């Protein structure tokens, strides 16, 4: 299923990804099949819960909504619950019938599948953090912030899907030299940083401007964007444990955003008790690129 003749520039990648069928997680396929079998007992909240565990399905749902209905109505659909409500339960199942599972695409490349699943795990964790912090900040639409965090590293996930060899090359280079900047390595391997592909896909899929703004780190002066970015950072730095040198800086920024103490933050994160002494007093340190980070 993988395209071996890969594009050489951003425009080519944009065409490849935007024209392809976006796969979803096999677990999501199974959950959808189970829900479809009892459709008379399934409601919009049940479907939303399934979609929000899978960034690949989430972007498919949002992109599909942008292709139907009026321009004014589309601009108001900035979270999955609203999208599902607009579609309706039975039309949703008809629209997303027999989706392709990413595990099938990468069945012959177990290391690539593992790399992709690690990024999905990060995205799920980032979305959860973003949701919790947005709620604590009394954000006007918590679900928007959570969705933006879930989709923040979508281009990286798609790279693992459609060009796993290149994704593994980027990861290897970052492993070999922790001082390298991810964007620089992506530029070297792909010819552009993944953030550029991410924003270009948002435009091609006509994703709501608000959602695109929340995913764009260039808007970091906005508290809601800070919420998303800090959730993404902490998820990335903690995915392999809580010893990354960047975590103290993450904590300090989160405490500033939420106006809480280190003790309160650690309590909210619900970390194992044995980790707390070191994290309570750990000195701030310079950020280092986590080896599993591509974006």
Please check whether residues 200 and 115 belong to one and the same domain: yes
Q: Which structural domain, as residue segments, surrounds residue 150?
A: 105-281
In a domain, 287, yes or no: no
pLDDT at 1: 44
pLDDT at 180: 86
pLDDT at 292: 52
Please check whether residues 129 and 254 belong to one and the same domain: yes
Please check whether residues 80 and 118 belong to one and the same domain: no
Please check whether residues 139 and 37 belong to one and the same domain: no
Q: What is the pLDDT of residues 140-167, one digit of tens each?
A: 999 999 999 999 999 999 999 999 999 9
Domain end, chosen from 73, 102, 131, is at 102
CATH number at residue 194: 1.10.3210.10
In a domain, 295, yes or no: no
Structurally, how many domains does the chain consist of?
2
Please report the DSSP string for the chain in residue order: ---SS--SSHHHHHHHHHHSPPPB-HHHHHHHHHHHHTGGG--HHHHHHHHTT-HHHHHHHHHHHHTSS-HHHHHH--SHHHHHHHH-HHHHHHHT-SPPBHHHHTTT-HHHHHHHHHHHHHHHHHHHHHHHHHHHTT-S-HHHHHHHHHHTTHHHHHHHHH-HHHHHHHHHHHHH-TTS-HHHHHHHHHSS-HHHHHHHHHHHTT--HHHHHHH-GGGTTSHHHHHHHHHHHHHHHHTT-S--TTHHHHHHHHHHHHT--HHHHHHHHT--GGGHHHHHHPPP------TT---
In a domain, 36, yes or no: yes
* Each residue's pLDDT expressed in tens, for the chain with a length of 295 residues: 454 578 889 999 999 998 899 999 999 999 999 999 999 999 999 999 999 999 999 999 999 998 876 565 555 688 899 999 999 999 999 999 989 999 999 999 999 999 999 999 999 999 999 999 999 999 999 999 999 999 999 999 999 999 999 999 999 998 898 788 889 999 999 999 999 999 999 999 989 888 899 999 889 899 999 999 999 999 999 988 898 889 999 999 999 999 999 999 999 999 888 888 888 875 443 334 444 556 5
Please check whether residues 78 and 112 belong to one and the same domain: no
Domain end, chosen from 67, 102, 137, is at 102
């Amino acid at each position: 299923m993988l395209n071996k003749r890969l594009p050489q520039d951003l425009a080519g990648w944009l065409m490849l990804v935007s024209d392809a069928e976006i796969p979803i997680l096999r677990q999501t396929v199974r959950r959808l099949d189970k829900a479809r079998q009892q459709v008379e007992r399934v409601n919009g909240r049940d479907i939303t819960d399934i979609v929000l565990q899978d960034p690949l399905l989430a972007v498919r749902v949002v992109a599909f909504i942008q292709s139907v209905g009026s321009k004014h109505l589309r601009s108001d659909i900035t979270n999955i619950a609203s999208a599902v409500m607009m579609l309706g339960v039975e039309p949703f199942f008809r629209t997303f019938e027999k989706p392709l599972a990413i595990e099938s695409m990468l069945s012959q490349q177990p290391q690539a599948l593992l790399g992709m699943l690690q990024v999905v795990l990060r995205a799920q964790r980032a979305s959860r953090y973003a949701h919790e912090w947005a709620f604590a900040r009394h954000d006007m639409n918590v679900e928007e912030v959570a969705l933006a965090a879930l989709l923040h590293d979508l281009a990286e996930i798609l790279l693992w899907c459609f060009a796993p060899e290149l994704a593994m090359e980027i990861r290897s280079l970052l492993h070999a030299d922790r001082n390298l900047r991810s964007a620089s390595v992506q530029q070297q391997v792909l010819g552009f940083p993944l953030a550029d592909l991410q924003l270009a896909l948002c435009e091609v899929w006509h994703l709501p401007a608000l959602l695109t703004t929340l995913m764009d780190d260039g808007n970091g002066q906005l508290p809601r964007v800070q919420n998303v970015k800090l959730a993404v950072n902490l998820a990335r730095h903690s995915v392999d444990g809580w010893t990354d040198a960047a975590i103290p800086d993450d904590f300090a920024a989160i405490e500033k955003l939420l106006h809480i103490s280190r003790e309160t933050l650690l309590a909210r994160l619900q970390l194992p008790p044995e980790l707390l002494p070191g994290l309570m007093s750990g000195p701030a340190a310079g950020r280092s690129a986590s080896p599993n980070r591509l974006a």
